[in-house]
Amino acid sequence: MEDLAPKIIFWVFAALMLGSALIVVAGKNLVRSAFALLATFFSVAAFYVMLGADFLAGAQVLVYVGGILTLILFGVMLTNRIYSLELNTPRFQVVPGALVSAAIFMILVTVVRVTPWKQASIVEEGPTTARIGQALMNQYVLPFEVASVLLLIALLGAAMLVRRRTDL
């Protein structure tokens, strides 16, 4: 019985993730797609929890749901006339796109099935926040600093791109 519960939780979140992702990519209404993306991000955070990555699950909810999804919703609202019924987004090359992505899915599943994955002998359990913090401050301090500079540059670049031409 206690073996069944994780399986049920896994498949519920997998179904939620893939179903909402399908709405994101195939739905007709752009606002509906943006809100379906919310369910996808939350299911991914649930996967992180199941994989024992508690800090990453928190970061996923904060950054994706709190930041990126808000940005995307701003993008949807600012670039579409929300009160007209013009939100239906055009689609093209549906059949070739579906064929290509189905073929790549088949290749990926075959690779996953035939590869003999190495299994870890020891799995470190418990909270990960302290270990991630120590790794960031010792082993990965240079990528950490580069990422902070990159965030600053992205912020400045985004502000530069959307400024009015008269402000020059």
Partner 1 sequence: MIPLEYYLVVASALFSLGLYGMLTRKNAVNVLMAIELIFNSANINLVAFSRFVTGDTEGQVFALFVIAIAACEAAVALAIVMSLYRITKGVSLEDASVLKG
Fill in the amino acid letter for 21.
Answer: A
Smallest separation, CB 12 to partner 1 (Å): 12
Looking at 12, 51, 82, 141, which residue binds partner 1 (CB under 8 A)?
A: 51
By CB under 8 A, what part of segment 56-75 binds partner 1? 56, 59-60, 63-64, 67-68, 71-72, 74-75
Smallest separation, CB 152 to partner 1 (Å): 10
Q: Does 18 bind partner 1 (CB under 8 A)?
A: yes
Q: How far is CA 51 from CA 57, 96, 124, in A?
A: 10, 35, 12
Sign of CA dihedral 55, 65, 34, 71: negative
Q: How far is CA 15 from CA 43, 82, 100, in A?
A: 9, 30, 22
Closer of 1 and 159 to partner 1 (Cβ): 159
HSE, side-chain direction, 13 A CA sphere, residue 7: 4
- The distance of Cα 125 from the centroid of its chain, to the nearest Å, equals 25
Smallest separation, CB 101 to partner 1 (Å): 4
Q: Does 116 bind partner 1 (CB under 8 A)?
A: no
Residues that bind partner 1 (rule: CB under 8 A) add up to a total of 84
Q: Does 76 bind partner 1 (CB under 8 A)?
A: yes
Q: Does 104 bind partner 1 (CB under 8 A)?
A: yes
Closest of 79, 4, 1, 2 to residue 34, by C-alpha: 79
Q: Does 4 bind partner 1 (CB under 8 A)?
A: no
